Amino acid sequence: MSPKAVFWVPIALRSILILIGGGVVWALFGLLTAMLVIVALLLAMVIMQLLYLYKLANWLDNPQSTRLPDGWGAWTDIFSRLYRLRRDDEKNQAELSEWLARFRQAMHLLPDGVVIMDDVLFLEWCNPAAEQHLGLQHERDKGMRVTNLVRNPEFIDYIILGRYDQPLMLTQRERRLLVNVIPFENRRQILVTHDVTETDRIERMRRDFIANASHELRTPLTVIVGFLEIASAQPDLDTKTRNGHLKLMTEQANRMQSLVTDMLTLSRLESVEYSLRIERVNMHALSEQIAQDARALSAGRHQITLECDGPDVAGSLDELRSAFGNLASNAVRYTPDGGNILISWKGDERGAQFSVQDNGIGISYQHISRLTERFYRVDKGRSRDTQGTGLGLAIVKHVLIRHSAVLQISSEPGQGSRFSACFERKTIWHD
Ligand SMILES: Nc1ncnc2c1ncn2[C@@H]1O[C@H](COP(=O)(O)OP(=O)(O)O)[C@@H](O)[C@H]1O
Ligand SMILES: [Mg+2]
């Protein structure tokens, strides 16, 4: 049946029934009685309709699908249709609020700041990252002009001029922010802030590293080129002078070689793809070897002692050899002749420590925190004289980070230094 028929047919049937009933009463009891009965039945029908109208009005105050009353006659269809409409509506609303909650959560987790403003720059909404980046507070600042909230001349110029094809680089609360504005919906704009402090720092580090490395390489190269020029300008130099030049050139070439080797080691240690190859490192054998190498470098100029009673380590033998070798060679190189050097490997229930202690020149306090920076040296001349590259402790730091270990340095100028690599319990080899 069509919806119209569903509505009209029962009404027509009921009216016909009333008329037929009225006819029967007329035949049996006369016209007056029949009229009274028809009026009474019609009145009952009107009261019924009024009752359902009342129920409908009542339901509209709080239109939940579960509260919808059952119908009678044409009302059954009206109520069931209302029920379906309401249920679809409720479903859509539930979906919409779930989607909105998910969107809010995503916006909360987004590391980039998002600010929505209207065409006259009044703040409509912003996420927590934007609050942090720009010092906003959504609840407090809603409805205020963004250029009054972020009082930075560059920012204000950028927004007011509205040249959004280029992003703005902004320094705000010690952060470097990349700001983009995207107009949308004609009357609104989205402002996005991206924190580039870390990328900027890495970029600066990379630039410094290239500048330093070029500078380090240029010095020996200049020496070699100088001698080569002499050799070609004066082909008949005596053998003694020539050999002297060759010796100096070889020294400089070796210096360049160790620089390049150290730079390559460092870049390998830093690269994400180069993962740590864990093996059982026999610390007795390794410490013995480090002490022997140190004795060879010292050539009898120092008293070198080894104390070793720690456990084996789970790590990379090559990397640890390079790190510990650096600590030991530094001790030899920065301790005047006749000094004492103690190399030790000790373990307890908390972990283990590889230490190199010397009574050499020591380091004053202000330098200590910077020693592991690449190319940082307390005394450049002395480091070069002793074949230092300035990268040794940077390599040590990276190797230790890869082994979840830390470097502790204590030193006193004129008294000596102690460099300790402290390993956690989990790095110790367990059978
Ligand atoms: N045992 C030590 N005693 C005194 N100074 C040290 C010692 N070890 C390192 N240093 C200082 O730390 C600086 C950085 O060390 P490192 O990175 O190994 O570079 P280098 O190639 O100069 O040895 C050195 O130039 C030196 O000034
Ligand atoms: Mg060194």
Report the nearest-CA residue for atom 1 of ligand 1.
Answer: 331
State whether 242 and 287 are in the same domain: no
Residue type at 301?
R
pLDDT of residue 282: 96
Q: Could you say which of 55, 71, 103 is where a domain stops? A: 103
Q: What is the pLDDT of residues 12-33, one digit of tens each?
A: 888 899 889 899 999 999 999 9
CATH number for 132: 3.30.450.20
Q: Considering the chain, what percentage of its residues have pLDDT values greater than 90?
A: 72
- pLDDT recorded at residue 322: 95
Nearest CA to ligand 1 atom 18: 392
Closest ligand 1 atom, residue 391 Cα = 17
Identify whether residues 132 and 188 lie together within a single domain.
Answer: yes
Q: Which of 70, 103, 136 is the last residue of a domain?
A: 103
- Are 97 and 169 within 8 A, CB to CB? no
147 lies in some domain: yes
Kindly state whether residues 321 and 349 are assigned to the same domain: yes
- 257 lies in the same domain as 302: no
Shortest-distance atom of ligand 1 to CA 416: 3
Q: Indicate the length of the chain as a whole number.
A: 431
Mean pLDDT of 315-336: 96
Same domain, yes or no, for 290 and 224?
no
Q: pLDDT tens digit string along 95-107? A: 999 999 999 899 9
Q: What is the pLDDT of residue 184?
A: 85
Predicted local distance difference test score (pLDDT) of residue 40: 92
Average pLDDT rounded to a whole number, residues 228-256: 92
**Ligand 1 neighbours by CB, cut-off 6 Å:** 326, 330-331, 334, 358, 360-363, 371, 376-379, 383, 388-393, 417
Mean pLDDT, rounded, for 253-281: 90
Q: Which ligand is nearest to the CA of 358?
A: 1
164-190 confidence digits (pLDDT tens): 899 999 998 889 999 999 988 888 999
Q: What is the 3-state secondary structure (H, E, C) of the chain?
A: CCHHHHHHHHHHHHHHHHHHHHHHHHHHHCHHHHHHHHHHHHHHHHHHHHHHHHHHHHHHHCCCHHHCCCCCCHHHHHHHHHHHHHHHHHHHHHHHHHHHHHHHHHHHHCCCEEEEEECCCEEEEECHHHHHHHCCCHHHHCCCEHHHHCCCHHHHHHHHHCCCCCCEEEEECCEEEEEEEEEECCCEEEEEEEECHHHHHHHHHHHHHHHHHHHHHHHHHHHHHHHHHHHHHCCCCCHHHHHHHHHHHHHHHHHHHHHHHHHHHHHHHHCCCCCCCCEEECHHHHHHHHHHHHHHHHCCCCEEEEEECCCCEEECHHHHHHHHHHHHHHHHHCCCCCCEEEEEEEEECCEEEEEEEECCCCCCHHHHCCCCCCCCCCCHHHHHHCCCCCCHHHHHHHHHHHCCCEEEEEEECCCEEEEEEEEEHHHECCC
Q: Is the pLDDT of residue 1 over 70?
A: no
Which ligand is closest in space to the CA of residue 376?
1
The predicted model gives 323-349 an average pLDDT of 95
Per-residue burial over 389-417, b = 16 or more CB atoms within 10 Å of its CB, e = otherwise: bbbbbbbbbbbbebbebebebebeeeebb
Residue to substitute in 269, 330, 333 for testing ligand 1 pocket (most ligand atoms within 8 angstroms of CB):
330
Of 223, 253, 270, the residue that ends a domain is: 270
Whether 82 and 19 share a structural domain: yes
Q: Which CATH number do you get for residue 249? A: 1.10.287.130
Q: Locate the ligand 1 atom nearest the alpha carbon of residue 358 and give its number.
A: 1
- pLDDT of 203 reads 92
Q: How many domains does the chain have?
A: 4
Ligand 1 atom 24: residue of nearest CA: 377
Nearest CA to ligand 1 atom 27: 378
Question: What is the spatial distance between Cα 327 and Cα 232, in angstroms, rounded to a whole number?
Answer: 42
pLDDT of residue 410 exceeding 90, the answer is yes
pLDDT surpassing 70 at residue 232: yes
| Other CB atoms within 10 Å distance of the CB of residue 76 | 14
Same domain as 314, residue 284: yes
Q: Is the domain of 283 the same as that of 423?
A: yes
By the CB criterion, residues less than 5 angstroms from ion ligand 2 are: 330, 392
In a domain, 201, yes or no: no
**Cβ count near 280 (within 10 Å):** 12
Q: Which residues span the domain enclosing 333?
A: 279-427
Judge whether 231 lies within some domain.
yes
How many other CB atoms are there within 10 angstroms of residue 206's CB atom? 10
- Average pLDDT over the chain reads 92
For residue 205, is it within any domain? no
Q: Give 177 Cα–ligand 1 centroid separation in angstroms.
A: 37
Mean pLDDT of 401-411: 96
In the reported structure, the alpha carbon of residue 263 is separated from the centroid of ligand 2 by a whole-number distance in angstroms of 13
CATH code where residue 393 lies = 3.30.565.10
Which ligand has its closest atom nearest to the C-alpha of 356?
Answer: 1
Distance CA 403, CA 397 (A): 10
How many Cα atoms sit within 13 Å of 203 on the Cβ side? 6
- How far is residue 137's CA from residue 145's CA, in Å, rounded to a whole number? 13
| One domain, residues 366 and 302 | yes
Q: How remote is the CA of residue 420 from the centroid of ligand 1, in Å?
A: 14
Pick the atom of ligand 1 nearest to 378's CA.
27
Q: In terms of domains, do 384 and 331 share one?
A: yes
* CA-proximal residue: ligand 1, atom 8 (nearest): 330
The pLDDT tens digits of the residues spanning 47-78 come to 998 999 999 999 889 888 788 888 777 788 88
pTM to 2 decimal places? 0.69
Q: What is the pLDDT of residue 6?
A: 76
Ligand 2 centre to CA of 327 (Å) is 7
**Domain check: are 77 and 53 in the same one?**
yes
Q: What separation in Å is there between the alpha carbon of 323 and the centre of ligand 1?
A: 13
The ligand with the least distance to the CA atom of 377 is: 1
Ligand 1 centroid, distance to 67 Cα (angstroms): 82
Per-residue confidence (pLDDT) for residue 65, from 0 to 100:
79
What pLDDT is stored for residue 75 in this prediction? 84
CA of 326 to the centre of ligand 2 (A): 5
Both 59 and 150 in one domain: the answer is no
- Report the atom number in ligand 1 closest to the C-alpha of 376: 14
